[in-house]
Amino acid sequence: MPLGAQRIAIVERSLARKGFRYYHLGLSDKCDECEYKSVCSRLKEGSLYEVIDIRDKILRCLLIEEEAVVVRVTEIPIEIAIPQKKSFGTVFTYSSVKCDPSCQYYRYCVKPRSLEGKKLRIVERVKTITCPKTNEIFTIVRALVEE
């Protein structure tokens, strides 16, 4: 999905608002029985999406067992800390980094498990940081999950 491309998605009714961001964690076995499975299966597992428009269509999601709303989303880059040596290419395989929840960089280091082993494409290098615990050098990048 090219940067800025839009897709139709389904989100829990209480979360259906412009600007809401979420990681698509993939499909569940419950989704196999759903008539709307094709909508959700078009999203990339592990990708970060932002709601940009809300539709009037309300339906029942079998996974969350609640009302859901049809929305338009766009994939947005994930800000993520990677070891500096991985930041010289454009594509890398994500592997989680151990980080203390009290660390100022925690939000860049810890991402959903659904990203583990995924190929990500760097779209921007943001800054270089030094881990306060290990003194290892990391680069914070903005990246998209590869198809």
The pLDDT value given to residue 1: 58
| Residue 27 and residue 48 share a domain | yes
Residue 35, Cβ neighbours under 10 Å: how many?
8
* pLDDT at residue 85, rounded to an integer: 87
pTM of the model: 0.86
Predicted local distance difference test score (pLDDT) of residue 19: 97
- Do 72 and 85 lie in one domain? The reply is no
Write out the residue range of the structural domain in which residue 113 sits. 78-145
Q: Please tell me the predicted confidence (pLDDT) of residue 2.
A: 64
Q: Domain check: are 66 and 93 in the same one? A: no
What secondary structure does DSSP assign to the chain, as a single string? --TT-EEEEEEEGGG-STT-EEE-----GGGGG-TTHHHHTTSPTT-EEEEEEEEEEEEEETTTTEEEEEEEEEEEPEEEEEEGGGGGSSEEE-------TTSTTHHHH---GGGTT-EEEEEEEEEEEE-TTT--EEEEEEEEE--
Q: Please give the tally of structural domains in the chain.
A: 2
- Taking 70 as the pLDDT cut, the residues of the chain under it are 1-4
